[in-house]
Amino acid sequence: MMNKAGTDIQIAICGSAGDGTIASGDIMKRAAALMGFNVIAFDVYPPEIRGFGKCISRIRISSQQAYSLKQESDILVSLNDMHAIPHVGEVRDFGAVIYDDHLVSRVAEGGHISAHINPAQIPYGFSIRQISEQATNSARSRNIVILGYVAGLFNLPGEHFRKVIKSKFATKAQAVVDDNTKAFDAGLRAGRAVFKLDDVEVREPAEDANGAEVVMMTGNGAVVRGFMEAGIQSYFGYPITPATSIMERLAVEMPPVGGKFLQTEDEISAIAAAIGAGYTGSRAATATSGPGLALMAEMLGLGVMAEVPVVVVVSQRGGPSTGLPTKTEQSDLNLAVFGGSGDAQRIVLAPTNVEGCYRCAAMAFDIAETYQVPVILLIDLYLSNRYETVVPSSENAFAPKPRVPLKLVKGKPYERFALTENHISPRALPGEEGLMHTITGLEHNELGRPNDAIHMTMTIKRHEKLKNAINYEGLNVSKRFGDTGRVNVGILGWGSTFGEILEAMYEAQAEGISCSAMKVVMLSPLPVDALRAFFNDCDQILVPELNYEGQFANLVSGALGRPVTRLNRAIGTPMVVDEILAEVRRLYIQGPDTQDGARATGAGS
Amino acid sequence: MNEHVKPVYLEEKLEEIRADGHQEYRSKSLPTWCPGCGYFSMAEGLTFALKRLGIEYKDVVTVSGIGCASRFPFFVNTYGFHTLHGRVLPVATGIKIGNEDLTVVAVGGDGDAFAIGGGHIPHAARRNVNLTYLVFDNGIYGLTKGQASPTSAVGFKTSSTPYENGDVPLNPLMMLLSYGASWVGQAYAGHQHHLADMITEAMAHRGFSFLRVLSPCVTFDKTNNTYANLNMAARGLPEDHDSSDLMAAMAEAAQADHPALGVYYKEDRPTLDEVMAATNRRAAGTDPA
C-alpha cells in the first residue's frame, strides 16, 4: 500500500517498559513533523510504569494526508526481541527489521528475532548496545542510537533530530543532551554505512501553501489547546487513564494566565465544582474516562435540569468496570448519550481526529453556553494518545463573546426558566443586580420554584432547545466522503474509528466499488435528516465500531428505524482497515439482503 | 442563655422585626418545614447575619444538597442553588472558584453532610475554601420520613432501625477539627439569638467555617434531640476556652453528651482563593518572593 507519489513510511519501535521506546518514538515523530511531513503516531504501552511490559510506538510519516496508521509497517525496530518477535509479521514484504546482532549472553533457541524474520523481509542487524556503550558509556541510549540508524537508512537530515533531542532534554543537565546527541550521531553513521531499502524514498514534503503554523499534537493535547484558545477559566479534574494528560497539561498552562485549576477528591466533585463554576458564568470543564463518567452521571442530570453550561471530556477505554485502562474502545456511547436518571438530553460531540478534538474543544464552551446544557466531548484512548499534525486556527477565534447583562423588568419577577420561542431562557449570573433566583434539580416552574404540574412543559423545553444545535455555525455535525449520489455501500462511523473507515473506503473505491463514508460528530442530538439522506443514497449501510454491542448502530437504527450491518470489535486496539474492506467487498458482492437488509458480523443484531 | 425573660407581645414583636429589616432577605416562598422545626431558626439566623454584615442580596449564593434543611435556598431572597444529595460542598467550591466575589453559604442536614457527602468535607476543610458551611444536625432523615442518620443515638428506634440503632454516632466537631477546618463552632436552634450571632461570626471568618447547629426534629424524634433534652444538655464553652488551642477544642468536642455551644476553634490561614492566586503568580513568574 505504498504511496508511490510521495513519502509514506511507517516505523514501529518495540521494546520493554523502561527501554525508552516511547521516548524514542516521540523524538522520531517530532523530527518528522519538523521536516514538514504529516505524522500520525500511536503508542501502545502496558498499565505498569516499570517492569517488563511491552511498549510499541508506531509512527506513520507521509507527504499526503493520511487518516490512520497503516496495517503494515515498513520498519520494525526491536529494542527487546521477546516483545518484538510477535510483531515481525506486521512488517511488509521487502520491509526492514532492525535488531541487535551483537549478543552479550546466550539466547534460548528461537529467542532471537533473526530466527523469525520472513524470507521476504530484509534484516538489518547491527550492534546497537555496543555503539551505545561506545558513544555514551551506557547501554541506556540504545533507543537514541536506533533513531540515528533509521535516519541514516532513509537519508533523513540529522539536524531536526538534534533539535528535538535538545528541546526534549532541555530541563536536564547539558551532559544528557550531549550524550543523546552523541548516541544519535553514532547511530546515524552506522545507518548511512549500510545499503538502503530500495523502494523507500523520502522526498521533500509538500510546502504548506499558506505558510500556516503546523503543529503536532495528541488528541488530548488538542483538547487542551482548544480549551486554552476558548479562554477556559476553571478546570476541575481527577486522575484517570487515558484522560490524565489533559489535566496535567492544563495544570501547567492555566495558572500563568490566571486560570483556576483544582485537582478534586473524586470525579463527582470534579463535575460538581465545574457545574458550580459554570453557574457563575465561568468557562468550566472537567475530563475523565468511562468509570469517571459513570460517577458523574447524576451531576450531568443536575446540569441538564438546572440548565447549567459545563464541558466534560470523556476519553473512553476498555470496559466495563476498571476494564482495560490502557486499551482503546468505543463502548461509553450509551453512557455519554443516555447516562443518568430521567429524560436528560445533553449535547455529545465525538470528533474523529486530532484536528477535530481541537476544534470541538474550542467550540464546546460556546455551545454549552448557547444551549445552557452540559456538553460531552467523547473521544477514546486511541484519539487521546495518537499524534497528528494539525493546523490551528487564527488567534482568538474561540474567545468568549462579551456578555450582555440582563435587564430587570420592573414589577415582574425574573424568570430564570422563562418559556420562549426558541426554548432558551435568558440566564442571569449570580452577582447581577436584582435578578436573584434559585436553580434546582427538582422539577420547577419558570421562576425556578419546585413544581410537579409543569413537568411535561419543561421536559419539552429542555429537549426542544437542543434541536437547533445541529446547525451550530462552524461545526460539521456530520460529513460525507467519497462517491456522491447513489452508492452500493455506505460506511457510517464515529470517533477515532473513522480514520480506518476512510482508509478502507478509499481502497474500496480504488477497487471499483461504489462507496462512500459518513462521519457523525454530533451524537446527541443526532443529525437525523443528514443520516436519512445518507441511508436513502446507500444500498447498504455498514457500521464499524470498537465495541461489542453496536452502540452507535443501535442509536442510528433506533432513530431512523432502518437496519444496518454491524462490524463490532472489542479487541483493545484500533479497527483493522482490511477487516472493514473485507466487509465492504462482501456487502458489494452479495448485494442488499431481501429479508431486511441487515446482516450481523458482531453481536446485538 | 434562657430566652424566656419576658412574655412576648406579638404586636410589639412584629414592629421590632419590621424595623430591623432583616426580613427583606426572606423570599416570598413560605418554608415547607413542620411547625416547631429547628430550621426556622436557621432562616431567621442567616437573614440576621446577612443584614448585620451588610452583604447585598445579589452577592450571596446559598447552596444546598438534599434534605429538609436543603430546601433553605428557596426561602431567602438571594441567588440559590439546590443541588444533589451530598454534593453541596463541591458545588459551593466551584461557585467560589468561579466568582470569588460572591459570599457562599452552604447549607445541609446531617445525612447530606456526614453520610452521602462525608467524603467531600475533609477536602473543603483542608483547602480552606472561603465559605460558610451550616449543618443542621437533627440526627434523623426527615424528608424521607424518619430513618436513622450517622448522628442518630445508639438505641434510637426509627423506621430503618425498628429494633434500635446499634451504630455509634459520628462526632462531627471532632471530625471537622481533625480535617483542618479553620473555624469550628456549635449552636442550638433553641437558642435563636446565639445562633444568629454564631452564623454572623462564621460568615465573618475568612476561610472555611463550619457551624453545627443542634436542631430538634419535632416530627420524627420524640426521644433524643428534643427541645426538652437539648435545653438541659446544652452548655456554654468554659469561659477560659482558648479558641486557638486545637487540643482544647478536641477535648470539648469529645463531650458529645453535653454539647457546648460557642466557637471551638479558629485559625487564620490562607484561603483557597489566596493559595490559587499565589500559585498563579508563581506560574506567571510575577511572585515577588
Q: Which of B58, B91, B93, B274 to mutate to test the interface with A (most CBs of A within 10 A)?
A: B91
- For domain A8-192, the CATH architecture is 3-Layer(aba) Sandwich (3.40)
How far does the CA of residue B59 sit from the closest CA of chain A (Å)?
5
Instruction: Indicate yes or no: CB of B98 within 8 angstroms of CB of A281.
Output: yes
Of the pLDDT bands very low, low, confident and very high (cuts 50, 70, 90), residue B5 is low
Instruction: Indicate yes or no: CB of A299 within 8 angstroms of CB of B87.
Output: yes
The predicted structure's pLDDT at residue B280: 96
Residue closest to A8 by CA, chosen among A268, A276, A203: A203
Per-residue pLDDT tens digits for B44-95: 899 999 999 999 989 999 999 999 999 999 999 999 999 999 999 999 999 9
Q: What gap in Å lies between CA A540 and CA A516, rounded to an integer? A: 11
Q: What gap in Å lies between CA B99 and CA A276, rounded to an integer? A: 10
How far does the CA of residue B50 sit from the closest CA of chain A (Å)?
15
DSSP-assigned states of every residue in A118-186: -TTSEEEEE-HHHHHHHHHSSGGGHHHHHHHHHHHHTT--SHHHHHHHHHHTTTS-HHHHHHHHHHHHH
Under 8 Å between Cβ of A562 and A530: no
The predicted structure's pLDDT at residue A211: 47
Q: Taking chain B, what is the end-to-end CA distance rounded to the nearest angstrom?
A: 49
The chain A residue lying nearest B58, using CA atoms, is: A431
Q: Assign residue B146 a region: left if phi > 0, alpha if psi is -120 to 50, beta otherwise?
A: left
* Residues of A with Cβ-Cβ distance to B57 under 8 angstroms: 436
Instruction: Indicate yes or no: CB of A439 within 8 angstroms of CB of B81.
Output: yes
How far does the CA of residue B72 sit from the closest CA of chain A (Å)?
10
The residue assigned the cell 523502561 is A18
Three-state secondary structure call for residue A357: helix
From the list A252, A276, A436, which residue is nearest B91 (CB)?
A276
Under 8 Å between Cβ of A427 and A393: no
Q: What gap in Å lies between CA B183 and CA B264, rounded to an integer? A: 8
* Residues of A with Cβ-Cβ distance to B279 under 8 angstroms: 255, 261
- Give the list of residues 6+ apart from residue A272 with CB closer than 8 angstroms, or none: A299, B83, B84, B87, B90, B91, B94
Of the pLDDT bands very low, low, confident and very high (cuts 50, 70, 90), residue A397 is confident
Grid cell locating B99: 466568582
Q: Which of B32, B66, B79, B123 to mutate to test the interface with A (most CBs of A within 10 A)?
A: B79
How far does the CA of residue B82 sit from the closest CA of chain A (Å)?
5
* Residues of A with Cβ-Cβ distance to B80 under 8 angstroms: 436-440
Q: What are phi and psi of B265, to 5 degrees?
A: -155, 140
* CATH 3.30.413.10 is right for the domain spanning A479-590: no
From the list A266, A270, A277, which residue is nearest B119 (CB)?
A266
- Give the list of residues 6+ apart from residue A134 with CB closer than 8 angstroms, or none: A186
Q: What average pLDDT does the structure give for chain B?
A: 93
Instruction: Indicate yes or no: CB of A434 within 8 angstroms of CB of B58.
Output: yes
Ordered domains of chain B (ranges, CATH): 34-284 (3.40.50.970)
Is B70's Cβ below 8 Å from some Cβ in A? no
Instruction: Indicate yes or no: CB of B87 within 8 angstroms of CB of A441.
Output: no
The predicted structure's pLDDT at residue A1: 37
How far does the CA of residue B145 sit from the closest CA of chain A (Å)?
18
Instruction: Indicate yes or no: CB of B95 within 8 angstroms of CB of A276.
Output: yes
Q: What gap in Å lies between CA B85 and CA B88, rounded to an integer? A: 8
Question: What residues form DSSP beta bridges with B147?
Answer: B141
* Residues of A with Cβ-Cβ distance to B98 under 8 angstroms: 233-234, 260, 276-282, 284
Q: Which of A260, A300, A449 to mutate to test the interface with B (most CBs of B within 10 A)?
A: A260
How far does the CA of residue A445 sit from the closest CA of chain B (Å)?
13
Q: What gap in Å lies between CA A360 and CA A226, rounded to an integer? A: 7
Instruction: Indicate yes or no: CB of B284 within 8 angstroms of CB of A256.
Output: yes
The residue assigned the cell 500563568 is A256
Per-residue pLDDT tens digits for A139-179: 999 999 999 999 998 888 899 999 999 999 989 999 999 99
From the list B58, B92, B122, which residue is nearest A276 (CB)?
B92
The predicted structure's pLDDT at residue A4: 45
pLDDT above 60 for B224: yes
Is B286's Cβ below 8 Å from some Cβ in A? no
The predicted structure's pLDDT at residue A201: 60
From the list A259, A284, A440, which residue is nearest B94 (CB)?
A284
Q: How many residues does chain A have?
A: 605
How far does the CA of residue B234 sit from the closest CA of chain A (Å)?
35
Is B283's Cβ below 8 Å from some Cβ in A? yes
- The stretch B204-219 carries a mean pLDDT of 97
Of the pLDDT bands very low, low, confident and very high (cuts 50, 70, 90), residue B37 is very high
Grid cell locating B34: 413542620
Grid cell locating A412: 415582574
A216-390 matches A8-192 in CATH topology: no
The predicted structure's pLDDT at residue A600: 46
Q: What gap in Å lies between CA B142 and CA A417, rounded to an integer? A: 29
Under 8 Å between Cβ of B109 and B138: yes
Under 8 Å between Cβ of A228 and A251: no
How far does the CA of residue B96 sit from the closest CA of chain A (Å)?
7
Grid cell locating A379: 473521544
pLDDT above 70 for A595: no
* Residues of A with Cβ-Cβ distance to B89 under 8 angstroms: 269
Of the pLDDT bands very low, low, confident and very high (cuts 50, 70, 90), residue A124 is very high
DSSP-assigned states of every residue in chain B: ----SSPPPHHHHHHHHHHH-GGGGB-SSPP-SPTT-THHHHHHHHHHHHHHHT--GGGEEEEE-SSSGGGGGGGBSSEEEE--TT-HHHHHHHHHHH-TTSEEEEEEEHIIIIIITTTTHHHHHHHT-S-EEEEEE-SEETTTTSEE-TTPPTT---SS-TT---SPPP-HHHHHHHHT-SEEEEEETTSHHHHHHHHHHHHHSSS-EEEEEE---TTT-SSSS-HHHHHHH-EEPPTT--TT-HHHHHHHHT-TTSPEEEEEEE-----HHHHHHHHHHHHHT----
In chain B, which among 254-273 make CB contacts under 8 A with chain A?
A: 272
The predicted structure's pLDDT at residue A38: 87
- Give the list of residues 6+ apart from residue A202 with CB closer than 8 angstroms, or none: A7, A9, A154, A155, A156
The Cβ of residue A498 has, within 10 Å, a number of other Cβ atoms equal to 31
- For domain A216-390, the CATH architecture is 3-Layer(aba) Sandwich (3.40)
- The stretch A414-424 carries a mean pLDDT of 96
The Cβ of residue A15 has, within 10 Å, a number of other Cβ atoms equal to 26
Give Dmax (Cα) for chain B: 65
Instruction: Indicate yes or no: CB of A276 within 8 angstroms of CB of B81.
Output: yes
Q: What gap in Å lies between CA B162 and CA B167, rounded to an integer? A: 13
pLDDT above 70 for A115: yes
Three-state secondary structure call for residue A346: coil
Return the domain boundaries, chain A: 8-192, 216-390, 479-590
Residue closest to A12 by CA, chosen among A77, A67, A86, A72: A77
The predicted structure's pLDDT at residue A605: 40
Q: What gap in Å lies between CA A89 and CA A97, rounded to an integer? A: 10
The predicted structure's pLDDT at residue A580: 97
- The stretch A87-113 carries a mean pLDDT of 90
- Give the list of residues 6+ apart from residue B210 with CB closer than 8 angstroms, or none: B125, B133, B135, B176, B181, B183, B184, B185, B202
- The stretch B152-172 carries a mean pLDDT of 96
The residue assigned the cell 470539648 is B252
Of the pLDDT bands very low, low, confident and very high (cuts 50, 70, 90), residue A3 is very low
- Give the list of residues 6+ apart from residue B124 with CB closer than 8 angstroms, or none: B89, B90, B92, B93, B131, B133, B208
From the list B73, B120, B280, which residue is nearest A258 (CB)?
B280
From the list A259, A276, A433, which residue is nearest B94 (CB)?
A276
Q: What gap in Å lies between CA A6 and CA A499, rounded to an integer? A: 20
Per-residue pLDDT tens digits for A296-352: 999 999 999 999 999 999 999 999 999 999 999 999 999 999 999 999 999 999 999
- The stretch A83-111 carries a mean pLDDT of 90
pLDDT above 80 for B10: no
- The stretch A463-475 carries a mean pLDDT of 96
Q: How many residues does chain B have?
A: 289
A:B CB pairs within 8 Å: 147
Q: What gap in Å lies between CA A32 and CA B281, rounded to an integer? A: 36
The predicted structure's pLDDT at residue B32: 87
Of the pLDDT bands very low, low, confident and very high (cuts 50, 70, 90), residue A377 is very high
Per-residue pLDDT tens digits for A432-445: 998 999 999 999 99
* Burial of residue A297 (number of CB atoms within 10 Å: 0-12, 13-18, 19+): middle
Higher pLDDT, A14 or A392: A14
Grid cell locating B98: 468561579
* Residues of A with Cβ-Cβ distance to B99 under 8 angstroms: 280-282, 429-431
Q: What average pLDDT does the structure give for chain A?
A: 91
Q: What gap in Å lies between CA A151 and CA A171, rounded to an integer? A: 25
Per-residue pLDDT tens digits for A231-243: 999 999 999 999 9
Of the pLDDT bands very low, low, confident and very high (cuts 50, 70, 90), residue A216 is confident
Higher pLDDT, A519 or A198: A519
The predicted structure's pLDDT at residue B216: 95
**Which helix (H) or strand (E) is A504 found in, with range?**
helix A498-510
Tell me the one-letter amino acid at B106.
A
Q: What gap in Å lies between CA A259 and CA A70, rounded to an integer? A: 40
Under 8 Å between Cβ of A131 and A190: yes
* Residues of A with Cβ-Cβ distance to B63 under 8 angstroms: 276
- The stretch A268-292 carries a mean pLDDT of 98
Of the pLDDT bands very low, low, confident and very high (cuts 50, 70, 90), residue B29 is confident
Q: What gap in Å lies between CA A8 and CA A63, rounded to an integer? A: 7
pTM reported for the whole predicted model: 0.92
